[in-house]
Amino acid sequence: MNIVLLGAPGAGKGTQAALLEEKYGLVHISTGDIFRANIKGGTPIGKVAKSYIDAGKLVPDEVTCDIVKDRLTRDDVKSGFMLDGFPRNLFQAEELDKFARIDVCVNISVDFSLIMDRICGRRVCSCGASYHISSLGGRTTCEKCGKPLYQRADDNPETVGARLETYKTQTAPLIDYYKAQGKLLTVECGNATPAEVFAMICGKLDGLNK
Ligand code: ADP
Ligand code: ZN
């Protein structure tokens, strides 16, 4: 099964992707993670991406599509993959349909009013784990691997506003794109915990296979 995870910044795509990877063995491909690794490594792609990411804008489509297309040529995706953060606009969705088969789009729907607090309170670990300060009780290290937690450079109030705007104008139209293809599964999060959201997603995915 090949899945697209759709949702506003801070909707919890990365958290759900980690859980889905564990349960279904799907390979997790996050364009945001790929860009951050490139920035850290000082690569040419990282240099291009940084200015866009810091401004809350989308990295140019050619760069982004090439990265995903290339990643999907690796053997490990043959038994199924999950795209987290891609596609993020209509052009990318149409390109993706040219080089891969997508079975389902899981749309994680959250109340926009929650997003600012979620993202600005987010602390992440290089292992991929993500926490909110309200549940850390002062801890500064990762529960899973013990490494120090840090705040992403783009997780600040100024950038979050721009990212939300980018989401509304460019990414949200993909909900209708996948609906029209009959591939859309929407999960309404409300105040649900990550575990509850995961249970809702699994219920919907398992329902598909019956
Ligand atoms: P979030 O979902 O919390 O915004 P991501 O890690 O998915 O975080 O993305 C961080 C940033 O990386 C985005 O704001 C954007 O600048 C860039 N980015 C990630 N995926 C894409 C994409 N598919 N197309 C263009 N830019 C992207
Ligand atoms: Zn960790």
Q: Is 12 in the pocket of ligand 1 (CB under 6 A)?
A: no
CATH at 105: 3.40.50.300
Q: What is the torsional sign of CA 123, 89, 17, 75? A: negative
Q: pTM of the entire structure?
A: 0.93
For 117-170, how does the pLDDT look when each residue is reduced to its tens digit (9 = 90+)? 999 999 999 988 899 999 999 999 999 999 999 999 999 999 999 999 999 999
Answer whether residue 106 is part of any domain. Answer: yes
Quick one: angle between helices 112-120 and 157-166, nearest 10? 140
Answer whether residue 134 is part of any domain. Answer: no
| Residue 186 binned pLDDT confidence (cut-offs 50, 70, 90) | very high
Answer whether residue 144 is part of any domain. Answer: no
Answer whether residue 140 is part of any domain. Answer: no
Q: Is 52 in the pocket of ligand 1 (CB under 6 A)?
A: yes
Answer whether residue 126 is part of any domain. Answer: no
Q: Is 86 in the pocket of ligand 1 (CB under 6 A)?
A: yes
Is the pLDDT assigned to residue 210 strictly greater than 90? no
Full residue range of the structural domain in which residue 72 is found: 2-111+157-208
Answer whether residue 31 is part of any domain. Answer: yes
Answer whether residue 148 is part of any domain. Answer: no
The count of domains in the chain is 1
In this structure, which residues have their CB less than 5 angstroms from ion ligand 2?
125, 127, 129, 142, 144-145, 147
Answer whether residue 98 is part of any domain. Answer: yes
- Based on C-alpha coordinates, what's the Rg of the chain? 16
Which of 35, 91, 120 is the pocket-test mutation for ligand 1 (most atoms within 8 Å of CB)?
35
